[in-house]
Amino acid sequence: MIRIAAFTCLVSTTALFAADAWRAPSQPQVDALYPQIRALYEDLHRHPELSLHEEKTAARMADQLRQLGFQVTTNVGGTGVVGVLKNGSGPTVMVRAELDALPVLEKTGVAYASHVTTQNDQGIEVPVMHACGHDLHMSVAIGTASLLAQNKDRWHGTFIFVGQPAEERIVGATAMLKDGLYTRFPKPDVVFAIHDSALQPAGKVAFTPGYAASNADSVDVTIFGKGGHGSAPQLTIDPIVIAARTILSWQTIVSREISPQDPAVVTVGTIHGGTKNNIIPDDVKLQLTVRSYKDEVRKHLLSAIKRIADAEAAAAGAEKKPAVEVVESVNAVYNDPALTQRLVAALEPVLGKSNVVQAPPIMASDDFAEYARAGVPSVMLNLGAVNPARFEAAHKGGEILPGLHSSGFVPDPELSLKTGILVETSAVLELLAK
């Protein structure tokens, strides 16, 4: 367990490590920067904005970068922000931080909690909260940008800060790429990001070589039947019964058609049909989330979902095939194994070997994947965000702590911010090294 005092001792040794070649910020640099970054973090947390509506957040990022001497371009792929800091010849490294928040009612009780409500795209009033740590990611990235701008005599190359919109709707990265992220600006040699995690205590960073997060496909299915009176089912084709059979049959895709060596998930998240207990409806609508890592597994899952839906409808005598539509997709996050190991080797002397840990891949998703799909190797590391004492007590007592997207999730601010700045700046400096 790392406490702040231990962290201070840890990073002070980094100053000696960095004396000849600047490979990590020193403790005095991090300490001097912390009050400014903490204030930024709390302000961002108080004023979250939903995906595709991050106007004020984007303006805040752009202003911070301009003050640091970056060349700043706004409205990239919507509300995206790109800041470029050129500093002679050398590699080009891009860091991604997300701008958007979630429609969640905050229940953390912290002094800087969000009380924001707004209308979503459907015109419904919803609460808004940074329940996934994007405010932390932005603050850490600004801290990294600040240290690089203050120490231009100690590194060479090009640093690119990307404030990406709409990660929560997995469309922001693709939108920025389509708007010329790799053509209008220097194309990076490497893309890097951190993501906070409730699975590790603050002070630790976790790495996952290879597949780290899954493909995700949102699938809408409408099953068509023939409605009628609930007392005379023989005169109908009941889509609710077809839907029930279909849902159960879909569960055999993973258990009987996919190799046990290949992770896969088929989850039916919603089912809507009917209006009254004695009416058999004409149709039933279902929404699925489908997860995998490998492209061939993904293709099989989607094909099997349609095949089974068609077959169950035909078995019931339905006159019309189900409508099956993939409405939203994102690719799997793949951490370049060689680059991941290179960063692990660079971070272990900085954080201490015991604080750089390997973690298994997860079935959640992130459109950070699209930057690698577009041809640039990438690495995302997971930053522990839970207060270490609370994490240890929960672990011993079997308590499940609030996780990402929870109304009760909030990072331990000081240790998470300081460790995040240390990790991200050290990683960028390693990647900038020839």
pLDDT in the model for residue 7: 45
Q: Which residues are catalytic?
A: 100, 167
Question: Any idea what DSSP says for residue 186?
Answer: P
Q: For 6, list phi and psi in degrees, rounded to 5.
A: -65, -35
pLDDT in the model for residue 265: 98
The CB density around residue 169, as the number of other CB atoms within 10 Å, is 15
Residue ranges of alpha helices (H) inside 69-210 are: 134-150, 172-178
Residues 6 or more apart in contact with residue 140 via CB below 8 angstroms: 37, 97, 194, 383, 417, 420, 421, 424
**Which among 109, 132, 106 has a CA at the least distance from the CA of 404?**
132
pLDDT in the model for residue 21: 64
Residue ranges of alpha helices (H) inside 73-213 are: 134-150, 172-178
**Which among 1, 385, 363, 351 has a CA at the least distance from the CA of 197?**
385
Cα–Cα distance measured from residue 339 to residue 211, given in angstroms and rounded to the nearest whole number: 13
The CB density around residue 209, as the number of other CB atoms within 10 Å, is 17
C-beta separation of 199 from 359 below 8 A: yes
Residues 6 or more apart in contact with residue 38 via CB below 8 angstroms: 139, 413, 414, 417
The span from the first CA to the last CA of the chain, in angstroms, equals 34
**CB-neighbour burial class of residue 261 (10 A; exposed 0-12, middle 13-18, buried 19+):** exposed
Given the DSSP bridges, would you call strands 378-386 and 190-201 parallel, antiparallel or unpaired?
A: parallel
Per-residue pLDDT tens listing for the chain (434 residues): 444 444 444 443 343 333 346 889 988 899 999 999 999 999 999 999 999 999 999 999 999 999 999 999 999 999 999 999 999 999 999 999 999 999 999 999 999 999 999 999 999 999 999 999 999 999 999 999 999 999 999 999 999 999 999 999 999 999 999 999 999 999 999 999 999 999 999 999 999 999 999 999 999 999 999 999 999 999 999 999 999 999 999 999 999 999 999 999 999 999 999 999 999 999 999 999 999 999 999 999 999 999 999 999 999 999 999 999 999 999 999 999 999 999 999 999 999 999 999 999 999 999 999 999 999 999 999 999 999 999 999 999 999 999 999 999 999 999 999 999 999 999 999 999 86
Name the token pair of 7.
């962290």
pLDDT in the model for residue 16: 34
- Kindly report the CA angle at 189 between 16 and 356, in degrees rounded to 5? 45
C-beta separation of 208 from 379 below 8 A: no
pLDDT in the model for residue 434: 63
3-state helix, strand, coil in the chain (%, to 5): 40, 25, 35
Cα–Cα distance measured from residue 177 to residue 187, given in angstroms and rounded to the nearest whole number: 11
pLDDT in the model for residue 26: 86
* Domains along the sequence of the chain with CATH: 4-214+332-432 (3.40.630.10), 215-330 (3.30.70.360)
